[in-house]
Structure 1
């Protein structure tokens, strides 16, 4: 399994707009076969900070997700809403408990 985490900070006054834009691709991502988890979080401590937790079966599933037109459209739409470039990191799963 591959896990992707992404941190994004909205420009002041653009928090609600960024949140709405980040949610637009969920219906399409739900149909991706190799996407195991795709979760958007909003910080309870810092206004306008968002965190994605994404889990993919393998590199091919992550590559597919990254190549989709709807994800490219989201990144295009949010460019002017972000304070800075998103911080994106990849991890390999070592151990887990799932219920």
Structure 2
């Protein structure tokens, strides 16, 4: 079995575009959840900066993540947010290192 990977994708909305960014990311979630290998795709907003969003993702494998990156849902998000973000999304990919309690020590 392939090793899972965790993604932290940060997006900064341009001023006045916060609602569009949130709405677009929320709307994409069901389609992404249905993609093969999607184990987690969870949206968060910064507590003090409402224009900063973070998507925390877990994929069953790098191949599943690669397929997601080429999928229709992500293309639609990219099109919808093409002029709404202050910069391209910052996407970081991590290798899980479970520690301690099996439920609490991993995403």
Return the TM-score normalized by structure 1: 0.92
* Structure ranking higher on relative contact order (CA contacts 8 Å, 6+ apart): 1
Aligned length: 99
Find the counterpart in structure 2 of residue 88 from structure 1.
91
Return the TM-score normalized by structure 2: 0.85
Unaligned runs of 5+ in 1: none
Residue 22 of structure 1: how far off its partner (Å)? 1.2
Q: Find the partner of 1:67 among 54, 67, 70.
A: 70
Separation in structure 1 between the aligned mates of residue 89 and residue 97 of structure 2, nearest angstrom: 25
Unaligned runs of 5+ in 2: none
RMSD of the TM alignment (CA)? 1.3
Q: Find the partner of 2:27 among 24, 32, 36.
A: 24
- Which structure has more helix as a fraction of its residues? 1
Deviations 1:31-69 (A, max 9, x none): 123111000001111121100100001111111111111
Poorly superposed stretches of 4+, deviation over 4 Å = none
Separation in structure 1 between the aligned mates of residue 6 and residue 51 of structure 2, nearest angstrom: 23
1:4 paired to 2:7? yes
